A = this chain, B = another copy of it.
Amino acid sequence: MRYFIYFSYRGTHYHGWQIQPNNITVQEVLQDALSKIVREKVDMTGAGRTDTGVHASCMVAHFDLSVPMEDPDRMVQKLNSILPADIAVDKICPVASNAHARFDAKSRTYKYYVTERKNVFSSDFSARILGKGLNYDLMNEAAKVLFDYIDFTSFSKVHTDTKTNNCKIMRAEWQKEGDFWVFTIQADRFLRNMVRAVVGTLFEVGRGKMTIDQFRQVIESKDRCKAGTSAPAEGLFLVDIEY
């Protein structure tokens, strides 16, 4: 029987979602907890991967069990009681045997949180911009340029194993939310490190160090070295996977 599991995590202490040798990852901790309860080795397939330090308020994965669960809600409770405070399961649902957390996802949505004031309660959950502050009108103008392109090689980590670097951007905008400026970006798929590279390059525009035209040239160059440095991981949240 196949299941979808919906969960959230604070990425601060993890080397991202995807399992890897010698580093603690969310996938490893979550799989181990579930395997312990069902007494069967469980392998999960995530809807995507998040980098070291990146958070997720809504992440999805699928897994198979040889013996169906009697009570998925009870399983959620059991999992939450043995998982650490920085991983929480929201829901487990039985799905069709060919349902796929990654291939069936139509889009992913990320949010990036920026603050210009020192905030002791959100220092793990936002990037703090020092100095004169950013011009968000200019950054929103530059963000609109993203809709004109599909090849985002310039914002992708080099040497990734994907066949194409094409992404369909569905949403890209900066909005004020309380004390924070928040960049919301939605696309059918994202390349490795792409959101943080986009945000870091928009910071250059917001600081007046790059014009909108130069931002366009960065995308057209298909050269990662032309883009800005990656924005810090702690500001980034995976907030939705749409099926």
Contact = CB atoms under 8 A, between A and B. Distances in A.
A46 B88 CA distance: 38
This chain's copy number in the assembly: 2
A87 B120 contact: yes
Contacts of A123: 10, 85-86
Interface string A67-87: 000000000000010000111
Interface residues of A, number: 17
Nearest to A128: B85
A243 interface: no
A88 B119 contact: yes
Contacts of A121: 8, 10, 55, 57, 125
A77 to B, nearest CB: 9
A117 B76 CA distance: 11
A9 interface: yes
A59 to B, nearest CB: 11
A118 interface: yes
Interface string A123-145: 10100000000000000000000
Contacts of A117: 88
Contacts of A80: 118
9 contacts: A8-B119, A8-B120, A8-B121, A10-B121, A55-B120, A55-B121, A57-B121, A86-B120, A88-B117
